[in-house]
Amino acid sequence: MIVLPDIGLLMSCSYDKNLIVWKYHEERELARLERSEELRCMDYLKSLKTLFVGTNDKIILTIPLEEILHGTGDSKYAYNKDD
């Protein structure tokens, strides 16, 4: 789980392959992005405004915050165990 207090977001991911973004001050779900991979962990790099999500397949996804907030959820592989 990641909390971004400066913009009021809480993000969670899980093995059910969902990345969920909450607007916690409004107590509502803002976005739900379903992935094809089981999601394991995540971190946010504020300087890049990018979320890094680790999968159970030992892959790291990078998802720009802008794409999460606009519902596209496009991701790129930062690391792939097969590279």
Contacts (Cβ under 8 Å, ≥6 apart) of 75: 35, 53, 61, 62, 63, 67
Question: pTM of the full predicted structure?
Answer: 0.78
d(CA 12, CA 66): 16
15 backbone dihedrals φ, ψ, rounded to 5°? -65, -15
Tens digits of residue pLDDT in 1-16: 999 999 999 999 999 9
pLDDT for res 70: 77
d(CA 37, CA 73): 14
Tens digits of residue pLDDT in 59-79: 999 989 888 877 654 555 444
Domains within the chain, CATH numbers bracketed: 2-80 (2.40.10)
Question: Which pair of structure tokens corresponds to residue 23?
Answer: 């607007």
